[in-house]
Chain A
Amino acid sequence: MSTTFLPCGDYHENYKQDHAWWQTKFIKLKMILLFAVLFVGIPLCADSYWLSVCNLVGYTVLGALGVQLLIGFCGQLTLGHAAFIAVGAYTSTLLVLEFPWPKFLLDLGLAYPVSIIVAAIAAGMWSVLFGLPSAKVKGFYLILTTMAAQFITVDFVITQYVSQIGGRGQAFSLPPGTIKVGPWIIDSNLKVYLMMLALVILCVAIITNLLRSRVGRAWIAIRDNDISAEVMGINVVKYKLFAFFVAGFIGGIAGAFWISNLAAISPEHFPWFWSLWLVGVILIGGAGSIHGAIFGSVFMVVVMELLQLAVIPLADTYPKLLMDFLFIKEAAFGLAICIFLIFEPNGLAYRWWQVKNYFNLWPFSY
C-alpha cells in the first residue's frame, strides 16, 4: 500500500500508481517549489561562501546515502565508507591526469564525466571485496572488517602505492582546467554546486528506485531479519553484496565529484573520522530513510558552520579556540549524537514525519 497520505477521493487502480513518486497534487507542488529554490533561489541568493557550504552538504549527502543504504536499509553496519569515497576520488583523479584520452573525448569535455562512471564502478567493486566478510559475519564483527577496509585502502594502498604514481609524492594536484564537463570548466562554486545538485538528484533517484523494487524489498527483509529473509527465498549473500556494490558506487560518485572542489587530493582528505562522521549523520538524520540522509547532512554541516562562525569573533580574545577548532568540532559532533540518541533516537526524519502527520490528521490527533 502506498505510504503517502492520500486525500479522500484519490485512489489507485494499479500498483504503478501505488508506487509512483509524487502521488498527490500537493506533493507535486511542493517538489516543484523545492526545485525552484534549489536551482534558482540558492544560485541567485547565496554568495560563494554559502555555495561552498551547500557543496559540502551535497558531498555529505552523497556519502551518507551509501551508508544509509548499508546501515539503514540493509542492516550492514559499516565504519569504512570513506575508503570507497577515496577509491572513487583517486580513480577519477588518476584517469583525468594520467589516462591517454583520445583527443575528441578531451575536446568534448567527456574525460571527467567518463572518469566519474569508471570511478563509481571501481569503488563499487572495491566495496564488494570488503563486503565479502558480511556473508559470514554480522554486527560488531562486520564493523571491524569494514574498519579494516578503511585502513587497508587509505592508509596502506593509497598512501603507500597509489600516491607514488607519477612520482609526485603525497598529493596529486589538479591544475585549473582539468575538471571539465562538456564545454564547461568547473572552476567556480556555482558550477560545482550545479553539478552537485545533478549528482545528488541522480543518486537519490537511483536509491529510491531500487528501494521500491524487488531489490529494495529484499534489502529491507535482510535488515529486519536475515534468517527469515533467507527462508523466504532471498539470496542473502547476493543481495548483501549488491548493497555493498551500490553503496560503494555512490561513494565513488561522491569521491569523484569532490575532486572538482579541490585543488589537490591527498589521503588526508579521507580519514577514518569521515567514515564515523557519515554514520553520525545518518543517526541524526534518522536511519532507514532517504530524507534522513539529507536532513542529517544539512543539519551537521550547517551546525558546524554556525559553530565556526560563532567561534571566529571570540578568536581575538581566546586564540586557542580557533587553533583547537577541530577538537571543538569533534566534541560538538559527539554531543550532537548523544543528544539525538537520548531525545530523538529516530532522527530528524521521524520529526519531519511527525510534523507532516500533525497536519495530515488535523483537526484530530489520530
Chain B
Amino acid sequence: MEITKDLTIPKLFLERTETYGKNRVAMREKEFGIWKPITWHDYLENVKYIALGLISLGLKEGDKVAMIGDNRPEGLWAEMATLCSRGIAVWLFQDCLMDEVKYIIDHSDTRFLFGEGQEEVDKAISIREECPKLEKIIWDDPKGMRNYHEDYLISLKEVRDLGKKLEQEKPGLFEETIEKGHGNEVALLFYTSGTTSKPKGALLSHWNLLSMGKNLMSIDPCYETDDFVSYLPFAWIGEQMMSISCGLQIGFTINFPEEPETAQENIREIGPHVMFAPPRMYEQMTRTVQVKYLDAGWIKRKCYEFSTKIGYHIANLKFEKKSVPWYWKLLGWLVYFGVQKKLKDHLGLSRVRYAYSGGAAMGPDHFRFFHALGVNLKQIYGQTEIAGISVVHRNGDIKFDTVGTALPETEVRITEDGEIISKSPSVFLGYYKNPEATKETLQNGWLYSGDRGFVDEDGHLVVFDRSKDVMTLPNGKPFAPQYLETRLKFSPYVRDSWVIGDKRDYITAVLCIDYSVVGKWADEKKLTYTSYPELSQKPEVYNLIENQILQANKDLPEAARVRKFINLYKEFDADDDELTRTRKLRRAFVTQRYADIIEALYTDTDTVNIDTTIKYEDGRSSHIKTDLYIRKLGD
C-alpha cells in the first residue's frame, strides 16, 4: 500500500487486517510456557471494541489517552484503539516515578489512562487529585483489583462491552471514524527523556511515522514472515517505530515476552529477524559472553579464542572494504560451524538480518565484537523529533566510528557551528504547549539536533557528542567524552563510566563497577564484601579496574588518556535522575551532584569523603557515609 499524506495508521491497520484476517499471526504473547498466537482478526476485534468503548466513554477527536505498562498485546491494542478513535496516544515509561507520571499526565491533558494492573492503578490514583483532567483509569489485569470500586476505574473488559453495545447501536461507526482521519493529524504525543530539563512533548503525525517506516524499510526490507520481539518500553521511540511504523507496513509478527525478567530468554526462543535496541542491550550481551567465556573449560576457551581471532580478522577486512581471500573464507566457515553458530544461538541472534543500535553512542569495540561474530549490526542516528531515525548504515558499507548515511527523502547537514541538522517528511510538528522550544528546534523545516558532528570523506555522518558535552582537551583539541566512556565500558567489569576533564589539566573518570561480574570475580579471589559500596572500594578491585583502564588508554592519544579514576559507591540510576530513562548520562546533573568528587579528582588528595542519601525504587532512602579512594594512573 502506498504511503500518502491521506493515509493514517488506523487506515493501514484496517487494510492489513482485511488482507490477513485469520490466516496470519499478528502477535504472540508467551503465556504459561507457550507462544499464544493472536491473529490479525483477533487484533482487529480487540482494537475495534476498545476504540468504540473509548468513544462511548466520551473520547473526542484529539483527546489524549495515556498508556503505562509492560510490553503486552493489550498495550498495543490500547494504543491502536486510541488512534482508531482519533485520539492521541501518550506513552509513559513503566518505571516512571510519581512526579514524572504526574507531570506528563497533567501537561498532556490526558483524559483516559490505560494501566496494566494494580501497580499502575495505584500510581494513577495517587496523582488523580492533582490531575483534574484525568477522567477514567482503565485496567485489565484483575490481580489485586478485587477491592477497588472507585467509579473512575473501569476494566478493559467493561470498555470492550461498552464498545460492543455501541457497535450494535451504530454499526459501521468504527470504520467511519477511521475514514475521517488524515495523515497530518497528530498520532503520538511523545515525551522525550531530555538529558537536561523537564520532558518535552513532541507531536508526531501519522505521516511522520509512516514515512519514517517506509524509508527505513526501503533500504532494509523486512518480510511478513519475519519475527520481531517487542520488549523495550513503548515509551521509547525506537520501539514505536518497529512495532507500529514498520510492523504495520510489513505485517511481521510482534512477539511479547512472558515477563520483563524473561525477555532475554524469550528473545533467544523467538530468534527475531530484526532487532532495534539501545547500546546497553548489546553491551549487556557482550558482557555476558565475556564473563561466560572466562568461566568455560579449557577446550571451550581455546575454541572461542581461535574463533574470535578469525572473526576479528575477517571483520577488519570487511571494514576496510578489502576482499576476503579464499583461505580466510574457509577458516571463517570453520569457525562459523565450530563456534559462532552456537554462540549466536545462545544470544538469540541466529536469524537476525539487521540489528540496529540507536539512542546513544556505541563503542567501537562493541561494534567490532558483533561484526566479528557475523552479526549485521548497524548504527542508527535520529531523535524522537524525527520519528526515530534519520541516518543509518547501509549493508556492506559499515564503519564503526560513524552512524552511516541519511535515509531516502532525508537531508542531513552540518551548520557552521558543527551542529547536525536534518530535514525529512518525518520531522515532527512541534512541542506540545512549548512554542519557545519548538522555535529553537524547528527552523525553516530543519530540525536542530543539538548534537555536534561532521560528515567524513565517505559521506558518513560522525556524531561527536551533544554540543554542550564536547570537551576541550589540555592541548586545546575538542574531544567527545562519550567516545571514551564507551571504550571504558567494553570491559565486562565496568557498567557505567563518566569521563571528566573539560578544560582541565588532565582527564579523569568516575566508574561504576558491574556488581554481578566484579562480585563473581571477588568470590573466586576469595575477597569478602557485603555490599556494593564496600566491594567498589577494595584495593584489589581498584587494581582490576586500573588494568582495564590502562588497556583502554593504550589506543588513545596522549592527551585523552585517563590519569585518575574513582570507583563510585553506587551505580548510576534513572531514579536518582543521574540517567535518563533510556540510560543516557545526565552530565550536567551529575557534575552538580558529585561536585565534591570532581573537586577531589583535581586536587592532590587520595580520598574523598562522601556523606549523602540515596533513594530506592520504592521511595525509601538511606544514608551513606564513606570514603572513596582515588587512584592515579601511569602511562
Contact = CB atoms under 8 A, between A and B. Distances in A.
B33 A364 contact: no
Contact of B342 (A1, A15, A362, A366): A362
A238 interface: no
A317 interface: no
Contacts of A12: 33-35
A18 B34 contact: yes
Contact of A8 (B28, B36, B269, B296): B269
Contacts of A362: 300, 303, 339, 342
Interface string B305-324: 00100000000000000000
Contact of B292 (A7, A9, A11, A366): A366
B35 A13 contact: yes
Contacts of A2: 33
A363 B33 contact: no
A364 B296 contact: yes
B271 interface: yes
Task: Pick the most buried of A11, A14, A17: most chain B CB atoms within 10 A of its CB.
Answer: A11
Interface centre among A12, A14, A362, A363 (most CB of B within 10 A): A363
Contacts of A6: 269
Given A11-B35, A18-B34, A364 B293 contact: yes
Q: In terms of DSSP, what is the predominant structure of the interface of chain A?
A: loop
A12 B304 CA distance: 31
Interface string B52-63: 000000000000
A365 B33 contact: no
A17 B25 CA distance: 17
Given A6-B269, A7-B350, A9-B350, A363 B36 contact: no
Interface residues of B, number: 32
A9 B295 contact: no
Interface string B282-312: 0000000000110111001101100100000
B351 A9 contact: yes
Interface string B118-152: 00000000000000000000000000000000000
Contacts of A361: 346
Contacts of A363: 293, 296, 300-301, 303-304, 307, 339, 342-343
Interface string B22-50: 00010010000111110000000000000
A13 B303 CA distance: 35
Interface string A1-42: 110001111111111011000000000000000000000000
B292 A364 contact: yes
A364 B307 CA distance: 13
A300 B354 CA distance: 53
A14 B37 CA distance: 9
Nearest to A361: B346
A4 to B, nearest CB: 12
Given A9-B227, A364-B346, 9 more contacts: A8-B268, A8-B270, A8-B344, A8-B350, A8-B351, A9-B269, A13-B37, A15-B34, A364-B293
The 10 closest A-B CB pairs, nearest first, are A9-B271, A8-B271, A364-B292, A1-B33, A8-B350, A8-B345, A363-B304, A363-B300, A11-B269, A365-B296
22 contacts: A2-B33, A7-B350, A8-B269, A8-B345, A9-B227, A10-B269, A10-B271, A11-B269, A12-B34, A13-B28, A13-B37, A14-B34, A15-B34, A361-B346, A362-B300, A363-B304, A363-B339, A363-B343, A364-B346, A365-B295, A365-B297, A366-B295
Interface of B: 25, 28, 33-37, 227, 268-271, 292-293, 295-297, 300-301, 303-304, 307, 339, 342-346, 348-351
